[in-house]
Structure 1
Amino acid sequence: MPRYSTLINIILFILTTLLALNIKMSAPKVSANDWLAAAKYRRSVYGLKNTSKVPDSRVQEIVQEVLSFAPSSYNTQPVRVTLVTGEKHTQFWDIVINTAEPILKAAGAAVWDKMSGILQSHKASYGSVVFWEDSAVTDEAKKTHASYAHLFESFGEHATGMNQILVWTALELEGLGANLQHMNGIPPVEEALKKFLDVPASYKLRAHLNYGDEPAAHNTAVPPKRPATETFKLDGLVSLMYMIDQ
C-alpha cells in the first residue's frame, strides 16, 4: 500500500500543479504545433535574387524584435547585429571575395574555381544580417560568474545561434529566402569586415545570413535525418518509478 499511496500523491501533486498553472496563465496565442511548423519551414535557400519583397524597415523590425527577447545565459546579451543592404552589401561581398581570393588560390586552383562561383552567388543576394558576439560582454560575465567562466565562450555561441535561427525563420516566413554563411573561417575576412562595418574591436564575427527573394517556389523538404532511436532517449518513466520505489 505505501507504494500506491506514494503514486497517488505524485499524481495529485501533478494535477494540482497543472490546475494552478491553467488558472494563472492564459492560453498561448500560438500553439506548439504552429511554432514547430514555422521552425520546420526554414530551409537553406541558394541562388537568391538581388531584390526583396520585404521592405528594409520590416527586416530591421524583425531583427530588433528578436534581439529584444532572445535568451542568453545570465541575460548577458552578448549578441550584436549589423544589417547590410544596397551598395554597402555589394561592397561587403567584394571585401570578402578580395580578401579570401589569395588564400583560396593558395589552397589550389580547383578550390578557387569552386569557391569563386559560390562567393559571387552570395554577393548577388539582396542583403546580409551580420551576427557578432561582443567579447567585452563575455569577458565581464566571466568575472561576474567566475565559477562558470570556462563556459561563457560556449554560452556566447549558444546566444548567437538562437538569434540566428529566429531571424532566419522569421525572414523566410515573411516570404524571403536565406542561407547562413561563416566567412570568418578565413581569418583575414573577419578583420576586413570589422574595419569596413566600423564595429568595435571587441566584436567577434559569428555568422552572416544572406537573404533575398527566392529564385523558385520555397522548398520545404527536410534533408534526411537520423531516426529517433539514435538521437532520443526517454528516461522520464524510469525516474518516476524510482520515486515510487522510495
Structure 2
Amino acid sequence: MTNFYSAVEARRSMYAISKEQTVSDERIQEVVEFAVKHAPTAFNSQSGRAVVLLGEQHDELWDLTKDTLREIVPADRFGPTEEKMAMFKAGHGTVLFFEDEAVVKGLQDSFPTYADNFPLWSMQSSGMLQYIVWTALEQEGFGATLQHYNPLIDEKVRTKWNLPENWKLMSQMPFGKPVAPAGDKEFQPINERVKVFK
C-alpha cells in the first residue's frame, strides 16, 4: 500500500485529543499553507482561506463557542454540550476554514452561464481543502475532527479575529495528539457504492 493510501486510511475522527505537540507550530503553519496553496479550485479561483488558532487563541474559540451555545441550549441539557466543548478545547489548536465570497461573486459576474454553480463548486473546493489539511495533520501525528458551529459563531469569530466580511466560515477543525484510538468503523458493501462499466 502506498503512503497516500495509508494516509487516507489512517485519517479518522479523533475526539480524545491533548495539547501535546507532535510537531512545531511552524510545521503546522507550513502544512496549512501548503494545503491552501495546492487545493484544487474551480476556475483556479483559489477561494479557500484558513485561520490557524494555537495556544490561548484556540482556547478562546471554544470558550466563545460554549458561551454562544449556552444562550440557546436549555440549562438542564447543557452538560453534554459543555463536555464536547471541553473535549475540543483540550486539543492543541484549531483550523478555521473559510471561503472568500467576494471571489465567488466575481466569478458569478464574469461567467453568468455558470453563476448558480459557483457556490456549489466553492463548497466542493472547501471540502477538498479541509480533507487535505485533516489528512496532513494525521501524517504529522495529530488527530482531528471536523465541526460545524457556523453560522452560530460567525459574527463573534469575525469580530474576535478581525476577519474580512466576505470570508464565510465553513467549518472548524480542532486537533491535538490523540490520547485514545478512534472507534471501529463499519463499511457498507463497496459493490453497492461503486459501479464499473467496461
If the length of structure 2 is used for normalisation, what is the TM-score?
0.94
- Equivalent in the alignment of 1:11: none
Distance (Å, rounded) in 1 between the aligned partners of 2:26 and 2:184: 30
Q: How far apart are residue 33 of structure 1 and its match? A: 3.5
Shift of 1:113: 2.2
- Say which SS state the counterpart of residue 26 (structure 2) adopts: helix
Say yes or no: does 1:68 pair with 2:37. Answer: yes
| Aligned-partner residue type, residue 96 of structure 2 | V
1:224 alignment counterpart = 186
Partner of 2:134: 168
The corresponding residue for 2:196 is: 234
Cross-structure match for 1:139: 105
Offset, 1:91: 1.2
Compare CA radii of gyration and give the structure with the larger one: 1
Residue 54 (structure 1) aligned to one of 9, 23, 38: 23
1:109 pairs with 2:76: yes
Q: Indicate yes or no: 2:162 matched with 1:193.
A: no
Equivalent pairs counted in the alignment come to 198
Quote how far apart the aligned CAs of 1:79 are: 0.4
More helix by share: 1
Q: Deviations over 1:197-237 (max 9, x none)?
A: 11101111101111111113x54x761121122211112x2
Q: Which amino acid aligns with 1:234?
A: V
Residue identity (%): 31
Q: Is the 8 A contact 2:7 2:138 kept in 1?
A: no
3-state secondary structure, aligned to 1:175: coil
Q: Which amino acid aligns with 1:150?
A: D
Shift, 1:167, TM fit: 0.7
Secondary structure of the 1:208 match is strand
Specify which of 12, 20, 28 is matched with residue 43 of structure 1: 12
Secondary structure of the 1:71 match is coil
Q: Can you give the 5+ residue segments of structure 1 that lack an aligned partner in the other structure?
A: 1-31, 238-246
Relative contact order, higher structure (CA 8 A, sep 6+): 2
**Any gaps of 5 or more consecutive residues in structure 2?**
none
Per the alignment, residue 203 of structure 1 pairs with: 167
Q: Does the CA contact (< 8 Å) of 1:131 and 1:164 recur in 2?
A: yes
Q: Deviations over 1:157-201 (max 9, x none)?
A: 1111101111111111111111111111xx331111111111101
Residue 35 of structure 1: CA displacement?
1.5
**Does the 8 A contact of 1:96 with 1:193 survive in 2?**
no
Partner of 2:3: 34
* 152-161 or 45-54: bigger deviation: 45-54
Of 168, 172, 177, the residue aligned with 1:213 is 177
Provide the C-alpha distance between the structure 2 equivalents of 1:135 and 1:222, rounded to a whole number of angstroms.
Answer: 38
Task: Tell me the CA shift for residue 41 of structure 1.
Answer: 0.9
Q: Distance in 2 between matches of 1:225 and 1:214?
A: 23
Superposed CA RMSD in Å reads 1.6
